[in-house]
């Protein structure tokens, strides 16, 4: 099982259960393989500062999967995907959704393309580009962002890709309210903050849900 230890595998299985996710062996294997690929590529491409497999499961995979209930529609955009979070775990879990992983780093897109190909994820596409320049053929129903800078910047840069009914999910730490006070919300129909419960994570996590 490579770099994904038995403890990491148990954390993944039990953590998914705590999140109410019933995944197949193939899906769990794909989530583990994603971690193993990160470990192999991390020396060549700076994907994460977290090198421990158990911590990767908790801080990356389970953290990403905590937002599954908030996905809307059939097309998902992961803004600044990096090592593939939250987009790849979401796509592995929700195979019915077409997912695009967008990142401005060619090396990271090369990594993501490799993982998508090796895991035969037919519902996923890795795209090299900046969010402010990206103009897809069709609209996205859900846009997700994790660890990509300020809430204000994410909102400004992603609004061009949103339409009426789109939902922007921005993952944040314990208290995002100071950032929200500075937002220009003219195009926003509704904004709410959800406290995320990430299994085994001893840190506050929240999700800013923006409806257009």
- Residue-wise pLDDT tens digits, 139-198: 899 999 998 889 999 999 998 898 899 999 999 998 888 899 888 888 899 999 999 999
Report pLDDT for 6: 66
Query: What's the token pair of residue 176?
Result: 């995002």
- The Cα–Cα gap between 136 and 203 comes to 35
Query: What's the token pair of residue 52?
Result: 């421990």
Report if pTM > 0.85: yes
**Mean pLDDT over residues 127-136, rounded?**
94
Query: What's the token pair of residue 9?
Result: 């595998």
In the chain, pLDDT over 70 holds for what percent of residues? Answer: 97
CATH topology of domain 6-211: Rossmann fold (3.40.50)
Place of tokens 């989530």: 31
Separation of first and last alpha carbons in the chain: 43
- The Cα–Cα gap between 42 and 68 comes to 26
Find out whether the peptide bond into 45 is cis, omega within 30 degrees of 0: no
Q: Find residue 168's DSSP bridge partners.
A: 143, 210
Q: Find residue 206's DSSP bridge partners.
A: 172, 195
Report pLDDT for 185: 84
Q: Where are the beta strands (DSSP E) in 56-189?
A: 75-79, 98-103, 124-128, 142-146, 167-172
* pLDDT over 80 (residue 5): no
Per-residue pLDDT of 18-67, as tens digits, reads 999 999 999 999 999 999 999 999 988 989 989 899 999 999 999 999 99
């Amino acid at each position: 099982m490579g770099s994904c230890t038995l403890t990491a595998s148990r954390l993944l299985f039990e953590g998914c259960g705590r999140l109410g996710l019933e995944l197949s062996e193939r899906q769990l294997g794909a989530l583990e393989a994603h971690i193993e690929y990160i470990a192999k590529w991390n020396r060549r491409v700076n994907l994460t500062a977290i090198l421990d497999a158990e911590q990767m499961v908790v801080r990356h995979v389970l953290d990403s999967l905590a937002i599954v209930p908030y996905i809307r529609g059939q097309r998902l955009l992961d803004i600044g995907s990096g090592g593939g979070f939250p987009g790849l775990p979401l796509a592995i879990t929700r195979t019915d959704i077409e997912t695009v992983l967008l990142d401005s780093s060619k090396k990271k897109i090369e990594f993501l393309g490799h993982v998508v190909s090796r895991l035969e994820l037919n519902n996923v596409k890795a795209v090299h580009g900046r969010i402010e320049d990206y103009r897809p053929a069709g609209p996205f129903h859900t846009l997700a962002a994790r660890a990509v800078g300020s809430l204000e910047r994410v909102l400004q840069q992603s609004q061009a890709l949103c339409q009426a009914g789109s939902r922007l999910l921005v993952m944040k730490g314990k208290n995002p309210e100071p950032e929200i006070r500075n937002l220009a919300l003219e195009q926003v129909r509704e904004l709410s903050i959800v406290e995320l419960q990430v299994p085994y994570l001893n840190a506050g996590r929240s999700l800013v849900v923006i409806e257009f």
